[in-house]
Chain A
Amino acid sequence: MMQNQSDPIIRLQGLCKSFGDMRAVDAVSLEIQRGEFFALVGPSGCGKTTLLRMLAGFETPDAGQILIDGRNMTNVAANKRPINMVFQSYAVFPHMNVAENIAYGLKIAGLARDEIQSRVEEALTLVKLAGQQLKKPDQLSGGQRQRVALARALVMRPQVLLLDEPLSALDAKLREAMQLELVHLQKTVGITFLIVTHDQSEALSMADRIAVMQDGAVRQVAGPKALYETPNCRFVADFIGKINLFEAMAAPAGKPGRIRISSILFGDQELDGNARGSVTLAVRPEKIHISHHRAAQDGLISIAGMIMDISYFGGYSNIFIDIGTGHPLMASITNFHPDGANAFSRGDPIWCSWRDTDTLLLTD
C-alpha cells in the first residue's frame, strides 16, 4: 500500500497504559510528521518513557492504536517494527566489538556479508567512529559508546529513530556538542527522530516540535518558539523555561477582544483576550526591565520592589525582587557591560517593568 508522503509517519490514537492503579499514559493522541525532529518532554513520571516503550513495542497499550506509516502496529512485536531505539544506558553489547555491535541487526535480518560490511562502514563514518571498529565497548568513552548505539540503530535504516534520554549520561560540555551533532545527523539521514527528555532546554534547542506531557497526558504540542512564547497553560509555562506568575481578575473592558485586568500589584491594566474571572498572568524573566526610576512610557506594566538576591552567571545575572507577594519576581539581565549588574545591589529599591504585550494570560 502506497502511503502519501504528507501523511504522518506516526499516529497515536487514544493510547492508554496503566501499571496497577497508576495511569502512566492517559488517552494520548499524537501525530508525528515525516522527517521531523520531535521531542517528548515532561517531569519524571509523566509517562513519556512509557509512551516511547509502547512505540518501540516493549509495552502493550491497554487501549488505543499505534499507526506507523499508516499501518496498525499496536500488536506487532518489537523485533518486527520498522523502528529502532537508542537506549538511555546505550545498551551496547559488551562482548561484541564496535563493528559486531553495529552489524548485529543486519546479521539477524540475514543480509549478505559484503552488504553488511559496507553499511557498517557507512554508519561508522556517519557517527565519526571510523577506525574504531575493532574496539570493545569497555575501551570506549561514554560519548563513543553512545555513537555506537546510534550507529547500531541507524544502520537498520528505520522509519523512526527513538532516543530515550540519550544525553543524560554525558557531562555538560559533551552534551551540548552532542545536541548539535544529533540535529545535524538527523538532517543528514532524513529519518524521523523522536527524543524523550526531561530537560526542557535540550528539547527547545534540538526539536522541530515538542510535546509537553504531565500525568500521562499531552498538555501542548508546538514548535519551540511557540511553546516558550505562548504556552497554553500554567504547567507548560512553568515547565518550559523560567517564568513569573501572578494571580489576577479579568473583566470585560468594553471593547471586544480586550479585557480589564485588576491586580493588587499594578492596579488596572487593559490586555488583549477574552478570559473572565480569575486568571494567571505570566511574564518571562528576560522581558522584564529593571531600573531605579519608574519608566514613563505607555503600554508598560510596572511594579515596585526591592532587590533580594543577585545570582551571577557570567553572561547574564538573575535578579530576585521582593514585590511583597512572598514569591520573588525574577528578572534576567544580560551583562552586556562588564559592570552592568553592579549598577544594582542587594537592598536597592527598584522598578520592574515590561510591555503589556509580553504578558501571557493563562486560564488553565
Chain B
Amino acid sequence: MKRFAKLTRRAPSGLLDYHRRWPLRLVMVATLIFLYAPVVALMAFSFNDSKRNIVWHGFTLKYYEKLFANTELMQAFANSLTIAFFSTLISVLLGTLAAIALWRFKFPGQRLYEGVMAMPIVIPEICMGIAMMAFMARTGWPQDLIWPLNLGAIMIAHVAFSFPFAAIVIRARLESFNRQLADAARDLGASEFHVFRDILFPHLSPALLAGGLLAFTLSLDDFVITFFTSGPNSVTFPVKIYSMVRFSVTPEVNAASTILIAMTIGLTAIGLRLHYRSQFQETAK
C-alpha cells in the first residue's frame, strides 16, 4: 500500500487535484497556522521556564508539578470528571431510549419530536446557560448538598445539551440495522429482551461508545452553561481556569489548558473513529 501511495504521488497532477497546486497549498498552510498556532503556542509555553509567556527560557515541568499541588484546581478537576461521568451515563441512556423510540415506532408528531430533541445543539449556549440558571433558581434547587450531590444542577444542565449528540449518533447507527436480524432472532425463540441484549445491543455498541465519548468530552470542556449553573462549592475545571486567568495568564494556566486540550482531542478522536468505523462496517457488506 505504501509503495503504491508513493507512486501515485509522483504522477502528474490532474484536473481536480487542487491540493497539489502551490497557491492552494499556501492558503491551506496559512489557514492551519492561523487556526492552530495560538493553541500550539499555549501548549509550548506550558513547558516554559519563565513566569511570563513571552520569551522562551528553557524546558521545565514545574508548572505541571504546581498544578497537581493546587488542591482547589484538583478539586475542580475531580468535579469535572465526576460530572462528565454521570452526565455521560444518563445522556447515553436517554439518547438510546430516544433513538430507539424514534426508529422503532411511528407516532404523531414524530418529526417534531426529532427536531425539538436536537434543539439544544443549535440553541446559543449563553441562552441555555441563563435558562438553566433561571430554572434552578426558580425550582429552588438546593445549593448546599454534600459532594457529589452538589454537582447535580450542573449534571442536569450537561445532560440537557449532550444527550441530543448521543441520540443522533445512536440513531444513525440504528439506520444500518437489518431488521431481519431481529425477526430471525424472534423466529429462533428470542423474546424482546433477548433481541435487545443479543442482537440490537451488540450492533449499537460502537455507537454507544462513540456517543458516550462525545458526551463526555462536551461535558468536560463546557464553560458557558456550567458557569451559570455552578455555585461556589461546585467549580469545574474550565470555570476554575477562567477564574485563574482573571488574575493573570500564568504558565500554570497554560499547563491546565494543555491537559484539557489533550483529553478532549484524545477522546473525540476515539469517539469519531468508532463512529465512522461502525458506519463503514455496515456499508461494506
Point out residues on A near B: beta carbons under 8 Å: 56-58, 77-80, 83-85, 87-89, 91, 93-95, 104-105, 108-109, 138, 149, 152-153, 156
- In the complex, the chain A residue whose C-beta lies closest to that of B181 is A91
Given known pairs A93-B199, A95-B202, A108-B194, the reply for A156 and B180 (CB within 8 Å) is no
Select one of A58, A138, A156 contacting B183, CB under 8 A: A58
Stretch at the interface among B31-39, B100-108, B126-134, B184-192: B184-192
28 contacts between A and B (CB under 8 A): A56-B183, A58-B186, A78-B186, A78-B187, A79-B187, A80-B189, A83-B187, A85-B183, A88-B180, A89-B178, A91-B178, A91-B180, A91-B183, A91-B184, A93-B181, A93-B185, A93-B198, A94-B285, A104-B185, A104-B190, A105-B188, A108-B189, A108-B194, A109-B189, A138-B285, A149-B184, A152-B188, A153-B188
User: Which A residues are in CB contact (< 8 Å) with B62?
Assistant: none
Among B180, B190, B199, B285, the residue within 8 A (CB) of A79 is B190
Question: Which of B178, B188, B202, B285 sits near A84, CB closer than 8 Å?
Answer: B188
Q: Are A79 and B191 in touch, CB under 8 angstroms?
A: yes
Q: Name, among B178, B202, B285, the residue most crowded by chain A CB atoms within 10 Å (CB to CB).
A: B178
User: CA of A89 to CA of B181 in the docked complex: distance in angstroms?
Assistant: 9
Contact call A95/B203, Cβ cutoff below 8 A: yes
Q: Please name 5 further chain A to chain B contacts, defined as beta carbons within 8 Å, in addition to the given A58-B186, A87-B183, A149-B184, sorted by A numbering.
A: A56-B183, A79-B191, A85-B187, A89-B180, A93-B199
Q: Within residues 163 to 221 of chain B, which ones have a CB less than 8 A from any CB in chain A?
A: 178, 180-181, 183-191, 194, 198-199, 202-203
Residues of chain A within 8 A (CB-CB) of B285 are 94, 138
Residues from chain A with a CB closer than 8 A to the CB of B187 are 56-57, 78-79, 83-85, 153
Q: Please, which residue of chain A has its CB at the minimum distance from the CB of B201? A: A95
The 9 A-B residue pairs with the shortest CB-CB distance in the complex, in nearest-first order: A105-B188, A91-B184, A91-B180, A108-B189, A95-B202, A78-B186, A87-B180, A79-B189, A85-B187
Interface size on B, residues (CB 8 A): 18
B residues near A, CB below 8 A?
A: 178, 180-181, 183-191, 194, 198-199, 202-203, 285
Chain A positions within 8 Å of B202 at CB level = 95
B283 to chain A, nearest CB (A): 13
Please, how many angstroms separate the alpha-carbon atoms of A3 and B45 in the complex? 86
Residues of A within 8 A of B199 (CB): 93
Which residues from chain B contact A79 at a C-beta distance below 8 Å?
Answer: 186-191
Residue of A nearest to B187 (CB): A85
Residues of B within 8 A of A91 (CB): 178, 180-181, 183-184
Residues of A within 8 A of B180 (CB): 87-89, 91
Q: Which residues of A contact B191 (CB under 8 A)?
A: 79
Residue of B178, B181, B189, B203 near A105 (CB, 8 A) is: B189
**How far does the Cβ of B119 sit from chain A's closest Cβ, in whole Å?**
33
Is B190 within 8 A of A108, CB to CB?
yes
Q: How far is the CA of A109 from the CA of B185 in the complex (A)?
A: 12
- Chain B residues closer than 8 Å to A109, beta-carbon distance: 189
Residue in chain B with minimal CB distance to A100:
B198
Query: Measured between C-beta atoms, what is the minimum distance from A58 to chain B in Å?
Result: 6
- The docked-state distance in angstroms from the alpha carbon of A57 to that of B185 is 12
Which residue of the partner chain B has the closest CB to A137?
B285
**Least CB distance, A268 to chain B, in whole angstroms:** 57
CB distance from B96 to the nearest CB of A (A): 18
A93 to B178, CA, bound (A): 10
Contacts of B189 in A (CB 8 A): 79-80, 105, 108-109, 156
Looking at the assembled complex, report how far the CB atom of B176 sits from the nearest CB atom of chain A, in whole angstroms: 11
B194 (CB) vs chain A CBs: closest residue:
A108
Shortest CB-to-CB span from B284 to chain A, Å, is 8
Contact A104 B183 (CB under 8 A): no
Contacts of B178 in A (CB 8 A): 89, 91
Choose from B181, B183, B203 the contact partner of A78 (Cβ within 8 Å): B183
Q: Which residue of A lies closest to B199 (CB)?
A: A93
Query: CA–CA, A84 to B186, complex, Å?
Result: 10
A152's nearest neighbour on chain B, judged by CB, is B188
CA A45 to CA B60, docked complex, whole Å: 75
* Given A56-B187, A79-B191, A85-B187, CB of A104 within 8 Å of CB of B181: no
| A87-B180 Cα distance, complex, nearest whole Å | 7
Cα distance A91–B285 when bound, in Å?
12
Min CB distance A135 to B, Å, is 15
Complex interface: chain A residues within 8 A of B185 (CB): 93, 104
